[in-house]
Structure 1
């Protein structure tokens, strides 16, 4: 099974995860500072910044794209509950 690395800048931790893992799942397991409210991609509370490696994430769904636009998110922002790591190395931080 393909693997990916995710680094959480806020706690300086890097983990290896299976490809297809959502970033919120990793954050919960290691205690990173990404907060969330719904896990369904509708509330936007789990918005995070992709510091590097955005090319290793699945494209945003229609719902995620709408929530990001509704919240005036920057191009580097994604929802942790929706963003799936496909491989490579992704560096994220809350906000």
Structure 2
């Protein structure tokens, strides 16, 4: 199974995770500062800035895309509960 490296800029921690993992799952395991509410992609609480490696995340679902638009999320931000890692290296920080 492919692996990916995720770096949480807020706490300076990098971890290697299997592809298919969602950012919020990794954040919980390492104690990063990404907060969340619903975990269903509806509340926008887990909005996360993708510093680099956005191409290493699966494209936003229709739901995530709509929630980002409805909440006027800045470009380069994703919902950590929805953003699925597909490989490579990604650097993120809480929005």
Q: What corresponds to 1:31 in structure 2?
A: 31
| Cα deviations by residue, 1:35-92 (Å, 9 ceiling, x for unpaired) | 0000000000000000000000000000000000011011200000000110000000
Note the 1:12-51 alignment, pairs <5 A.
12-51=12-51
Note the 1:1-95 alignment, pairs <5 A.
1-95=1-95
Q: Structure 1: give runs of 5+ residues left out of the alignment.
A: none
Q: Give the whole-Å Cα distance in 1 for the aligned partners of 2:84 and 2:91.
A: 13
TM-score, normalising length: structure 1: 0.99
TM-score, normalising length: structure 2: 0.99
SS in 2 for 1:28: helix
Q: Give the whole-Å Cα distance in 2 for the aligned partners of 1:77 and 1:39.
A: 16
